[in-house]
Structure 1
Amino acid sequence: MLVSGMERGSLLKTMRSALEAVYGRRLRGVLLYGSEAHGESRTDSDIDVLVLLDRVADIGDEISRCLEALYPVALKVGRRISAKPVDAQQYESLNCPLYQQVHREGVAG
């Protein structure tokens, strides 16, 4: 699916690069989920992203850092990006319905 002229793979690569610039080796993965991952997004849909990190201490700080890093990408594609930072070990435990859904249906970048 195209996101404002950018292919999904290119979008994921761009988001990952932006997040790596902020998190470095703490970044464990970027997973696209929701309507964009299913190919069902509309022009008014947001882009849902799970950001897997080593050690999430303060979720509020991590959300701010993610949104700041991804803001230029959102401007480029003309869509809102909804980033959810998650501790990678918690995600891998799959003890939450959202994590289970993303594990089944998400697109890794």
Structure 2
Amino acid sequence: MFGPRLKGVVLYGSEARGDAEPDSDIDLMVLLEGPVRWSRDLATITRRLYPLQLEIADRPIHAIPVPEADYRDGTSLLYREAQREGIAA
């Protein structure tokens, strides 16, 4: 999908905290090396997750591309919350 640019994936939000409801969405951060090319990277993620989304149609998957350096530095509240509560893979 991203080759060596892919540095990790973080599950965050209610699913990671363990308080998801049956219809809760699944939140993912896709950590990428270097600058994120938002529309291109998001399109790549969406294409790759589409088959999984079809299997679990009642649980929307929200995945966003994130620069790994920004995530590690905690440059936003969302990144800091994901660091604290998320499950990294």
TM-score (norm 1): 0.74
**Matched-pair contact (CA < 8 Å) for 1:30–1:49:** yes
Report the aligned-residue RMSD: 1.2
2:43 aligns with: 64
Distance 1:56 1:72 in 2: 27
Distance 1:65 1:80 in 2: 17
In the TM superposition, residue 76 of structure 1 has moved relative to its aligned partner by 2.4
Partner SS state of residue 51, structure 2: helix
Aligned length: 88
**Are residue 55 (structure 1) and residue 34 (structure 2) matched?**
yes
Q: Find runs of 4+ consecutive structure 1 residues off by over 6 angstroms.
A: none
2:3 aligns with: 24
After TM superposition, the structure 1 stretch with the greater mean CA deviation from structure 2, 70-79 or 27-36, is 70-79
Code of the aligned partner of 1:25: P
Greater fraction helix: 1
Unaligned stretches of 5+ in structure 2?
none
Give me the identity figure in percent: 41
